[in-house]
Structure 1
Amino acid sequence: MVLLTGENLHLEEMRSIIYKNEKVDLDTEALARVQKSREAVERIVSEGRTVYGINTGFGKFSDVSIDEEDVHALQLHLIRSHACGIGEPFEERVSRAMVVLRLNALLKGFSGIRVDVLKRLAYMVNHSIHPVIPSQGSLGASGDLAPLSHLAIVIVGEGFVWKDGMQVAAKQVWDEHGLDPLVLEAKEGLALINGTQAMTAQGVVNWLEAETLAYQSEWIAAMTMEALHGITDAFHPAVHQARGYVEQVDVARRMLEWLEGSQLVTKQGDKRVQDAYSLRCIPQIHGASWQVLGYVKEKLEIEMNAATDNPLIFEDGEVIISGGNFHGQPIAFAMDFLKLSVAELANVSERRIERLVNPQLNEGLPPFLSPQPGLQSGAMILQYAAASLVSENKTLAHPASVDSIPSSANQEDHVSMGTIGARHAGMMIQNARRVLAIEAFCALQGSEYRGKNKMSESLQNKWDEYRSFTPSMDEDRVFSTDIERISAHMKNETGKPVYSSKVSITV
């Protein structure tokens, strides 16, 4: 059970919630803050004071006053009109993350929403009631209005939710649970949709998958090192400490951990003096990607605990301020930065694939790893596929955050496009994972040619794990099936891989 307070939610807790269906509970002190904030809204309504978002229109309609008897209709019209997302829906795990993050933000007590609404959001998390949320249509400023409206509309019994991989009407699911949809009170519709939780939820899933992929890239690169008789001197701790980047030092250490005891890797001068950059510079290249992951993690964990709606209520309602915390620029930059990190993991992986299959570069392995070169093409076109994915990533890596198109009659005249950046980062992670799956496939085959019994114990374990569902390439076949199997297996892993228990570093 993860206790949500609005203050200290971390990515590791999100990993448990998203991937292990961990349930959530609501902090009592946070609920007390929420209740005070709600009471302030109710006083404003009863006193007839005019406050944006409570009894006015929205956006360019902010100067239109709304009568008290129309406040309920105002909230419903808001989320219905704003639920205009389009395109394929977000993955269900992104939808789950979105509900959790909106709930956590509202628990800060600045939004004027009722405790009952937050309890309904927690019920949705704990009973896996995940809204179907189209992934396109957000500008990433004034909040992720369209995506979050598809979340909010489920609460009032409209829209759709996921059930066993199918989309079913939200009203049907509430009936099955014996619950009535909620009727939203003053400000509650706006409180639910004014925020950055779509881009942040996609960003959280992106980061968790990118972290796993970065770890996976290391054992895959290590197996390639074995297949190519790579030189381990380049990973000597002194080299990396001399430069001083912690992430580079860590990658070099983990590479040596993977390769401990290998009889396939070499030392300087055994076969050649130095390796090509795609092998020799693994700590420098991968380490730089880890630096980006560190930056993105910091920004995500701030945003996961941020109040991002508008207006915000302070001092028990005495101070109500219309600000711009819904603007997604920090996450837009973070997601664009993440794209560069992921792109480079794929770029260098494709170069190692080329070295594995190219008979002029692969240290005596069969051309294209073919069991019968000429008669059988082997892994020739696998490198083509990797090159195609890498090239596609280069187009997706264009920063979304450099763009802005004014909206709401130019009231909202600068927007972040952060949700587009987050979506594109997710697409790039999928592409990069497939590139690394191709490298893994080729490295498995190359190390098999060299002799599995000469591999390090840790990499033998990985070889056994992946060979359990990926047969040796003893004859040409439809290799896309293998790549998709490997990619799916990689996606289902989370966090840091486990090394052999006997590993000890010696250099």
Structure 2
Amino acid sequence: MLQITTALDFRNFYEVLFEDSKITLDPSVIERMSISFKFLEEFSKNKVIYGVNTGFGPMAQYKIKDKDRQKLQYNLIRSHASGMGKPMEPLYVKSLMLARLNTLALGKSGVHTSVVETMQLLINNDITPLIFEHGGVGASGDLVQLAHLALVLIGEGEVYYKGVKRRTAEIFSEENIKPIKIEQREGLALMNGTSAMTGIGIVNVIYAKRLLNWSIFCSSAINEIVEAYDDHLSSELNDTKLHIGQQEVASKMRDHLKDSSLTRDRNEHLYSGKNPESEYFEEKVQEYYSLRCVPQILGPVYDTIENTQKILIEEVNSANDNPIIDVERKQVYHGGNFHGDYVSLEMDKLKLVVTKMTMLAERQLNYLLNDRLNNILPPFVNLGVLGLNFGMQGAQFSAVSTTAENQMLSNSMYVHSIPSNNDNQDIVSMGTNAANVTKTVIDNAFEVLSVELITIVQALRHLEIKESLSTVTREKFEILNKLVPEIKEDLPLYKTQEIIKEFIKNQDAYKIC
């Protein structure tokens, strides 16, 4: 059980999203929000407060009569529930709701407590509002996506419940859930924030961490397959570079390979003084970059993911609304905390490093499939009859194609602002677009790594080196060996690729939380 008080951390999100922890609201949250609500109610009586007694956006110059204040909020919600495209997956919607609940619980928005109480019930009962991927431009918040959340909270729109899309009113009636109370600015406060892009972004980070760990796993296993020298992973070498990520990746690989009988000590071979007098060394003195430079390649990936996680958790625990209600100073501040540039930039950076992981996997896959490079495996790791059978040849095309798509998708969204809203929103973040594109890049990366893992399994079968493997590789190989059929006779691989993709997406090579 997770109790919402003042701040959430990354582990909290993991617990709710992946371990199905339920949430409770600390009494201090209800008290804080009630004080903020009452303050705004009193403060706005003889003042002009945006979105309370004015219109919205470029229509803010128009005063709203007291009798129309509630209708104003309903009109805002209904008019902006205009999303298009694919419905967001339940996991991402749940993350969005937890992010929005948390920022409203700070008591900086002046909303009625029913907003977070009703959202709590949706989260705990796995009731998923119908929210579409397309619509938000990421300034004035994720207006369109969050309008669909608000639409459900007022008892309208549609939800997914137990896998079926149904009218919200029906589910609320069955589960005895009351719609939120619209009193002052509940519609605007729900919509005016970065919680869609941030919620999607946090799930992206969790999956990116899994990808990184599987990339480290594959890189370690390939070092065993080719019996690589181990000094490129040494602390002595990697600590001369002062980047935390590089040092961490090298450390993880050393830990993975600590009991392997396959990786070699350079001192026992090339430094032994027993090398034959020759003008040409048959054996490689150094490995290809995709094997030897893994700490240097995945180090920046590690550092970027960690920084993205930090920024997103800061955003989740921030008041990203407008205006901001400050009870302590008895003031209401108008500004732009809804602007999503922080998240948008981090999503662009995250998709770049995920694409680099995809490229590394594709190059390592190519190394395994090209017998002229590795000199130890049959072409395309073909365990059948050369010429008659094809091995992993067809699967490589899918991996290469998907890698190319990721390279194209890695173009920045952060710099693609398009003015809208009668030029009131004249420079925007496109943060939710950035988060959704990053989600696609991450899903693509799992596809490429699934092909690499299947190929590693085939290579290990061919070499028959199970007993010499490190404990970590051997344990995972035993699991994967049951999921991947032995490919001697050609067979359609698409089902196996999907099974391995789902396996690595839902299980981790090493713990992340």
Query: In the alignment, which residue of structure 2 is the partner of 1:341?
Result: 353
- Write the distance in 1 (CA, Å) between the matches of 2:365 and 2:40: 61
- Mapping 1:233-272, distance limit 5 Å: 233-268=231-266, 269=269, 271-272=283-284
Superposition deviation, residue 68 in structure 1: 1.3
Superposition deviation, residue 22 in structure 1: 0.7
Q: For 1:63-92, what per-residue CA distance to the aligned partner results, in whole angstroms no more than 9, with x for missing partners?
A: 111111111211111100011111001111
Q: For 1:455-482, what per-residue CA distance to the aligned partner results, in whole angstroms no more than 9, with x for missing partners?
A: 2222110001111221222221111211
Does 1:351 find its partner at 2:350? Answer: no
- Write the distance in 1 (CA, Å) between the matches of 2:394 and 2:129: 40
Does 1:364 find its partner at 2:362? Answer: no
Of 283, 294, 298, 1:282 maps to 294
* Contact 1:401–1:421 (Cα < 8 Å) also in 2: yes
Does 1:37 find its partner at 2:36? Answer: yes
Of 70, 75, 86, 2:73 maps to 75
Query: In the alignment, which residue of structure 1 is the partner of 2:467?
Result: 453
Does 1:401 find its partner at 2:414? Answer: yes
Superposition deviation, residue 495 in structure 1: 7.7
Query: In the alignment, which residue of structure 2 is the partner of 1:433?
Result: 446
SS at match of 1:401: coil
Query: In the alignment, which residue of structure 2 is the partner of 1:466?
Result: 480
- Write the distance in 2 (CA, Å) between the matches of 1:258 and 1:195: 42
- Write the distance in 1 (CA, Å) between the matches of 2:305 and 2:60: 40
1:272 is matched by which residue type in structure 2?
A: K
Superposition deviation, residue 155 in structure 1: 0.9
2:142 is matched by which residue type in structure 1?
A: D
Query: In the alignment, which residue of structure 2 is the partner of 1:181?
Result: 179
Query: In the alignment, which residue of structure 1 is the partner of 2:90?
Result: 92
1:123 is matched by which residue type in structure 2?
A: L
Does 1:422 find its partner at 2:435? Answer: yes
2:50 is matched by which residue type in structure 1?
A: Y
Query: In the alignment, which residue of structure 2 is the partner of 1:4?
Result: 4
Note closer, same or farther for the CA distance 1:121–1:203 as it changes in structure 2 (3 Å cut): same
Note closer, same or farther for the CA distance 1:175–1:3 as it changes in structure 2 (3 Å cut): same
- Mapping 1:157-176, distance limit 5 Å: 157-176=155-174
- Mapping 1:60-209, distance limit 5 Å: 60-209=58-207
In structure 2, the gaps of 5 or more residues are: 271-282
* Contact 1:224–1:446 (Cα < 8 Å) also in 2: no
Superposition deviation, residue 363 in structure 1: 2.2
Query: In the alignment, which residue of structure 2 is the partner of 1:505?
Result: none
- Write the distance in 2 (CA, Å) between the matches of 1:342 and 1:186: 43
1:369 is matched by which residue type in structure 2?
A: V
- Write the distance in 2 (CA, Å) between the matches of 1:317 and 1:35: 16
Superposition deviation, residue 32 in structure 1: 1.7
Of 316, 321, 328, 1:309 maps to 321
- Mapping 1:368-407, distance limit 5 Å: 368-371=380-383, 372-407=385-420
Query: In the alignment, which residue of structure 1 is the partner of 2:306?
Result: 294
Superposition deviation, residue 403 in structure 1: 1.1
SS at match of 1:162: strand
- Write the distance in 2 (CA, Å) between the matches of 1:494 and 1:108: 33
1:447 is matched by which residue type in structure 2?
A: L
- Write the distance in 2 (CA, Å) between the matches of 1:317 and 1:115: 21
Superposition deviation, residue 396 in structure 1: 0.7
SS at match of 1:52: coil
SS at match of 1:423: helix
* Contact 1:14–1:97 (Cα < 8 Å) also in 2: yes
Question: RMSD over aligned Cα, in angstroms?
Answer: 1.6
* Contact 2:213–2:508 (Cα < 8 Å) also in 1: no
Query: In the alignment, which residue of structure 1 is the partner of 2:16?
Result: 17
SS at match of 1:242: coil
Higher mean Cα deviation, 200-209 or 169-178? 169-178
* Contact 1:200–1:300 (Cα < 8 Å) also in 2: yes
Q: For 1:129-184, what per-residue CA distance to the aligned partner results, in whole angstroms no more than 9, with x for missing partners?
A: 22111011110000000000000110111111111222111111101112332341
In structure 1, the gaps of 5 or more residues are: 499-507
Superposition deviation, residue 362 in structure 1: 2.0
- Write the distance in 2 (CA, Å) between the matches of 1:312 and 1:467: 56
- Write the distance in 1 (CA, Å) between the matches of 2:164 and 2:402: 30
Query: In the alignment, which residue of structure 1 is the partner of 2:425?
Result: 412
Note closer, same or farther for the CA distance 1:177–1:141 as it changes in structure 2 (3 Å cut): same
- Write the distance in 2 (CA, Å) between the matches of 1:307 and 1:190: 14
Q: For 1:183-235, what per-residue CA distance to the aligned partner results, in whole angstroms no more than 9, with x for missing partners?
A: 41211100111000010001000001101111111112212222222222211
TM-score with structure 1 length normalisation? Answer: 0.95
* Contact 2:29–2:107 (Cα < 8 Å) also in 1: yes
Note closer, same or farther for the CA distance 1:120–1:422 as it changes in structure 2 (3 Å cut): same
Higher mean Cα deviation, 427-436 or 250-259? 250-259
- Write the distance in 2 (CA, Å) between the matches of 1:369 and 1:468: 18
Higher mean Cα deviation, 455-464 or 202-211? 455-464
- Write the distance in 2 (CA, Å) between the matches of 1:18 and 1:382: 32
Superposition deviation, residue 316 in structure 1: 5.8
* Contact 1:40–1:317 (Cα < 8 Å) also in 2: no
- Write the distance in 1 (CA, Å) between the matches of 2:451 and 2:511: 19
SS at match of 2:165: strand
* Contact 1:223–1:444 (Cα < 8 Å) also in 2: no
- Write the distance in 2 (CA, Å) between the matches of 1:349 and 1:35: 52
Note closer, same or farther for the CA distance 1:293–1:243 as it changes in structure 2 (3 Å cut): same
Higher mean Cα deviation, 229-238 or 372-381? 229-238
- Write the distance in 2 (CA, Å) between the matches of 1:346 and 1:103: 34
What is the identity percentage for the equivalent residue pairs of Structure 1 and Structure 2? 34
Query: In the alignment, which residue of structure 2 is the partner of 1:503?
Result: none
Q: For 1:291-312, what per-residue CA distance to the aligned partner results, in whole angstroms no more than 9, with x for missing partners?
A: 1011101101100101011111
Superposition deviation, residue 44 in structure 1: 4.2
Note closer, same or farther for the CA distance 1:361–1:267 as it changes in structure 2 (3 Å cut): farther
- Write the distance in 1 (CA, Å) between the matches of 2:130 and 2:180: 18
- Write the distance in 2 (CA, Å) between the matches of 1:122 and 1:317: 29
* Contact 2:118–2:177 (Cα < 8 Å) also in 1: no
* Contact 2:114–2:181 (Cα < 8 Å) also in 1: no
SS at match of 1:87: strand
- Write the distance in 2 (CA, Å) between the matches of 1:315 and 1:258: 53
2:56 is matched by which residue type in structure 1?
A: F
SS at match of 1:468: helix
